[in-house]
A and B are shown apart, each in its own frame.
Chain A
Amino acid sequence: MSLSETLLPVAVLLPLGAATLMLALAHWLPPRLPKIVAIFVALAVCAICLGLAHASLDGPVRHWFGGWTPDAAHRPGVVLGIGFQADPASAALAAFCGLMFSASFVFAWGYFDTEHAHFHVLMLLFLAAMVGFCLTRDLFNLFVWFELMSIAAFALTAYPLGRSALEGAFTFTVTNALASFLMLAGTGLLYARTGTFDFATMGEAVARTGSDPVLTGGFVLVAAALLTKAAILPFHLWLADAHAVAPSPVSVIFSGAMVSLGLFGLAKLVAQVFSGSADVTGLVHGLLHGLGLATALVAGVMAFAQRHLKRLLAFSTISHLGIMLTALSAGTDTATAGLLLYILGHGLTKGALFMVAGTLLSLRQSADEIVLYGQGRGLWAPALAMIGGGLLLGGLPLGLMHGATGLIERSASAPAQAITTLATALTGAAILRAAARIFLRASGVPGPELLAPTEREHEKPDRPVWLMAFPALALVALALVPPGAALPFLGAATARLHDPSAPPLALPEGGSVNLVPLGLTAALFALALLRRRALHRPARAVTRAERAGFRALQALHSGLVGDYVTWMAVGLALFALASAL
């Protein structure tokens, strides 16, 4: 075995080993040690996966556990064991997860001092699950890591133990546990028809079978589970509740890496397993495209109408996930490349923004932009990170996200482009508005955000501001890297996601600089800041209508788990309708 083949399982075994060792010795470890170990393990995972990404440029790196290679059974189509496979995209994403975890561990230094290493044990298990999710090539194994990811996330969400944290964790647990059931059922259906779990073998079987309700049903169930994780309308309702209440270092991981992994998993399955099924590709191009646009728009409007910073960021995450889903559903090579780049750019930016929210929670005891009005003076580093993050989300023509948007828009229709641009501008303007209120004391009269739910809460003020600002600024700086440098790698990654032996793709060099999103962001931002009290009759009527509209939208996000499950059923029904038509 070559070195990279040996290192492939280590990327998962290392965090698992560190977590179990720390748990076993939890009672006797000095309190600082788990934090240091966690940072180094996350960095090591990042380094290993970067090495794998580099090595896989020469062809996929595979590792068959227990030596059970596909030919071990000497029967064609029967794969006894489980394989990991690093293609450039998967390995790069796993490395990205390692990077986000190390940034989050630095940010969380001191936050969890009183605990017996439990936080770090849960986080390392979480990391291992995410890396396994990226690297596996076995559907059941994918389910196992999906489930481990969910369980670690449930516990971490409830960690602050306040009422809202427990409620958020409860809806998160119910909806995502349901998603796990769906995924298991879907895996069962796919196995019943194809007789294997291995992606490549299953893909061959799917292409042989052709049109078949069992395969389509299996895909729909697995896709619904992944879309629940990725918070796509109407499966998205849990996300804002959970991300808003989780401890900030955990929200960084949730919004930065976990949710977009759901979409990456879906993209990988569509490319490697279902590319031969016309029914499934029809669903992807049709229904998923529509759902993506609806998600981007609805969540963008919701983000604009929030006042609680973490809730605002959570809705903006949903909105950007919608944009990513439109890229996934377009299915062209440039759009897929855009999706991969967007996951990185958005994850870095959103991670930094959640760190700013956490900084405010611990230094100013609130995350409510109206309560915090003018309270952010003197915190120039977080302010810089927040304004930078807001501009990046709002379409600043620099950095990874802009490059990704350019790639995605190459294959998008004009109406779709208009919707994603509007969604981008709404989220960017919302963040900039909050930043202006908190750090610059600039504000118009609050609009519909006054109606949004908020929460009195705070986090422990136990670490210096530079320690919290440094990882945030570092992430923003990484998000500002010019995308041109990544294009050759991205071309190879995109081509190999579909076919491990494909030649690298030549991606178009940076397109024209598109200033429309940034202009729209600035316009919406100005609108929010120049807003004055409605004194005249027509202005009042407009305000009333606006309030009624937003109130109806807020009412859909009721926080009641029964509603959320009902909407999930509606989502499945949409899939049933779309595949029947």
Chain B
Amino acid sequence: MTPRWRLLLLALALLVLAPAVLRVALTLPAFGAPTAALGQTVNALAPELRHVANMVAAVNFDLRGIDTLGEECMLLCAVTGATVLLRGARGEHDTARAGRLPGRPVTPRADATVLVCRIFATLTLMVGLSVALHGMTTPGGGFQGGVIAASGLLLLYLGEGYAGWRALVPPPVLVALEGGGALLFVLCAGLPLLAGHPALQNRLPLGEFRDLYSGGLMVLVNAAVALSVAGSFGLLLVEFLEETREAGDDPISDEEDR
């Protein structure tokens, strides 16, 4: 199909679709009009039943916790896939050392840059921890906190350069964090079964409403998600920033021998 024909066909299809989309959009419940019964029920019941102030956490880590486990594994799966694909082209065995292109200049960093990066990386890590820890009381939680903590690693990269950075955060440790966090989640789901309760049942003491450690099992699941997400994003950064390729360089041959 030539691009012209493709566009024509697409336009035709969209033309046919437009009235259907309009019809559905106009019969949808009006914006904000009748609030969903499910959401209202969660708002009404969760503070009492689970002692948490953050309803999103209650839904994510307790009511629909198995969804979150699936999503967590999705992230882990995507990162593992990206790792395999990125490492594949340069061989997997060299992961202990930082790979680099011979002859590529290493830009020296100013002392001020290094200092500022170290300070702010620490602060970012603290913010991440705080967001993760306050998951039961304020918006945020393990996923967001984990992403923030991992993004602090970028500042370290800016300050220390790739090799130094990588020595500071070795990939096997990140992988262990990633897999271990997810494993902790699986255990949180599976261990209640041994005692004859449903999977993921919240049997731990629930704590005080609005307390940092309220929510029972949710605190543990939250921590598991934080660890796993921090590990995943950290690993993704380490793999993406490996300095083994030049721009416009195409090391993948047709006959890759795997």
Contacts and interface: CB of A to CB of B under 8 A. Distances in A.
Contact of A66 (B6, B63, B74, B84): B63
Interface residues on chain A, size class: 35 or more
A91 B13 CA distance: 39
A73 B78 contact: no
A159 interface: yes
A196 interface: yes
B45 A152 contact: no
Given A26-B175, A122-B80, A161 B254 contact: no
B64 A569 contact: no
Contact of A576 (B20, B182, B202, B252): B20
A566 B70 contact: no
A132 interface: yes
B252 A166 contact: yes
A512 interface: no
B187 A25 contact: no
A558 B1 CA distance: 8
Contact of B199 (A9, A195, A457): A9
Given A125-B73, A456-B255, A195 B178 contact: no
Of the listed residues B88, B199, B201, the one surrounded by the most CB atoms of chain A closer than 10 A to its CB is B199
Interface string A548-565: 000000011010101100
Contacts of A196: 38
B89 interface: yes
Nearest to A188: B28
B219 interface: no
A556 to B, nearest CB: 8
Interface stretch (A16-24, A388-396, A502-510, A513-521): A16-24
Nearest to A556: B1
Contacts of A68: 63
Given A16-B186, A192-B29, A566-B6, A161 B80 contact: no
A322 B72 CA distance: 34
B161 interface: no
A158 interface: yes
Interface string A104-147: 00000000001110110110010011001000000011001101
A562 B6 CA distance: 8
Interface string B37-70: 1100110010000000000000000111111011
A440 to B, nearest CB: 29
State the majority secondary structure of interface residues on B: helix
A65 interface: yes
Interface string B157-177: 000000000000000100110
Describe A's contact surface by its main secondary structure.
helix
Contact of A77 (B13, B23, B37): B37
Contact of B200 (A66, A79, A456, A573): A66
Contacts of B38: 78-80, 195-196
A217 B23 CA distance: 9
B252 A162 contact: yes
B109 interface: no
A577 B70 CA distance: 36
B176 to A, nearest CB: 5
Given A80-B63, A161-B85, A213 B78 contact: no
B21 to A, nearest CB: 8
B19 to A, nearest CB: 8
A569 B14 contact: yes
Contacts of A490: none
Contacts of B193: 6, 9-10
A572 B10 CA distance: 11
Contact of A75 (B12, B41, B182, B197): B41
A214 interface: yes
Contacts of A217: 20-21, 23-24
Contact of A24 (B20, B73, B175): B175
A546 interface: no
A162 B256 contact: yes
A379 interface: no
Interface string B1-19: 1010010011011101101
A63 interface: yes
A102 B193 CA distance: 26
A577 B38 CA distance: 34
Nearest to B193: A6
Among B3, B14, B38, B88, find the residue whose CB has the most chain A CB atoms closer than 10 A: B38
A482 B76 CA distance: 42
Contacts of B89: 161
Contacts of B226: none
Interface in B66-97: 66-67, 69-71, 73-74, 76-78, 80-85, 88-89, 92-93
Nearest to B3: A562
B198 interface: yes
Contacts of B1: 555-556, 558, 560, 563, 566
Contacts of B140: none
A144 B24 contact: no
Contact of A213 (B23, B180, B187): B23
A163 interface: yes
14 contacts: A1-B196, A22-B179, A25-B176, A66-B200, A73-B45, A78-B38, A82-B64, A116-B92, A155-B81, A155-B82, A161-B252, A192-B28, A570-B12, A576-B19
Interface of A: 1, 6, 9-10, 13, 16-17, 19-28, 63-68, 73, 75, 77-82, 114-116, 118-119, 121-122, 125, 128-129, 132, 140-141, 144-145, 147-148, 151-152, 154-156, 158-164, 166, 189, 191-193, 195-196, 212-214, 217, 456-457, 460, 555-556, 558, 560, 562-563, 566, 569-570, 572-573, 576-577, 579-580
Given A6-B193, A27-B176, 9 more contacts: A22-B179, A23-B76, A66-B62, A140-B64, A141-B70, A151-B78, A151-B81, A155-B80, A192-B29
